[in-house]
Amino acid sequence: MTKAGIVTGRTRKVLLGSAPALLALGLLSCVGRTTDTTAPLDIMRPGTWTALAPMPTARQEVAAAELDGRIVVVGGFGANLEAVTTVEAYDPATNRWETWAPLPGPTHHPAAAVVDGRLFVVGGYEGRVRWTPLAAVYAYDPARNAWATRAPLRNPRGALALVALDGRLHAVGGSAERATGDHEVYDPATDRWTEAPQMPTARDHLAAVAFQGRLLALGGREAFLGKQYPTVEIYDPATNGWLIGTPLPTARGGLAAVALADRVFAFGGEAPLRIFSANEMYEIAGNRWIGKELMRTPRHGAGAVAVGGRIYVMGGGTEPGFAPTAANEAYTP
């Protein structure tokens, strides 16, 4: 059925992968499938993707944020499942990358956000097979091209999400031994973390965005082979409480998300034996998710950042588990 340029109904395309992928937990190898969105498709204004200069270092399970007009990609898995200290910055104006000062310590599955002109990198894991959750917090000073250690998380964890709201950082979800709904708030003026109301749904490998003064926590999972969530939960600082939002069309973890003007976009992701090419947009007017142009490179564990009306998606894994890419592609809605 077609209405106003939207094709409704469930639509899925499945492609067989050709290479085994080592799962991040080192448990098994598998052949991956690529899955589209099940959202109604926007055939009138799907948007376009553009391939750009690849990252100098292929990585997945990275964190990314915009700082002074540049997109900074930090940490992740490098070769052989090793956590890295790598920090690389992309300039959309020149389509070029440069290397910045490395993180003080290696980490994969961290989270990143910018507040008060500084880039903060929070949590993550270290270790190759046995992952150790981290409480580490680093702040990058662009004037000195240097990192400083800040007050650690109260609860160490990786695969969390981080959002800047009203001059503070909100760290939500993630996991140590198991997925959590932990919600901690960091005040850079006092260098202090405090507890805040937990997310209703404990999950890791989620995405989060700041949207219209609230925090939206999207997707995530209980465990790699456990329950995958389409859940969208909304934290409102005005009430210091959580609301339930319109769920994603497809449950998955390892996705990336970006807020752009009055819309929210969710990209890619992972579920057992599958990765996603999904590009889904939430529109306020219809209170619904709409499928947009599929990703050129389906992946999970990527970074996504909006600059100048375009959304840049960098790095990630192209198979379930471990398969890092240097892909850097921009989506224009």
Shortest CA distance to 253 belongs to which of 278, 235, 236, 234?
A: 278
Q: Is the pLDDT of residue 118 over 80?
A: yes
CATH of residue 135's domain is 2.120.10.80
Neighbouring C-beta atoms of residue 7, cutoff 10 Å: 16
Shortest CA distance to 276 belongs to which of 327, 320, 236, 245?
A: 320
Helix, strand, coil proportions of the chain in percent (round to 5)? 0, 50, 50
Return the HEC string of 128-193: CCCCEECCCEEEEECCCCEEEEECCCCCCCECCEEEEECCEEEEECCECCCECCCEEEEECCCCEE
Shortest CA distance to 157 belongs to which of 109, 198, 209, 227?
A: 109
Based on the structure, what is the number of domains in the chain?
1
Q: Which residue range(s) make up the domain with 189?
A: 2-332
Q: What is the pLDDT of residues 291-305, one digit of tens each?
A: 999 999 999 999 999
pTM: 0.91
Q: What is the pLDDT of residues 156-214, one digit of tens each?
A: 999 999 999 999 999 999 999 899 999 999 999 999 999 999 999 999 999 999 999 99
Span 96-113, mean pLDDT? 98
Distance separating alpha carbons of residues 32 and 262, to the nearest angstrom: 34
Distances (CA, A) of 14 to 160, 270, 273, 325, 331: 29, 14, 12, 21, 22
Q: Is the pLDDT of residue 273 over 70?
A: yes
Does residue 103 contact residue 87 with C-beta atoms inside 8 Å? yes
In sequence order, the β-bridge partners of residue 289 are 282
Does residue 238 contact residue 218 with C-beta atoms inside 8 Å? no
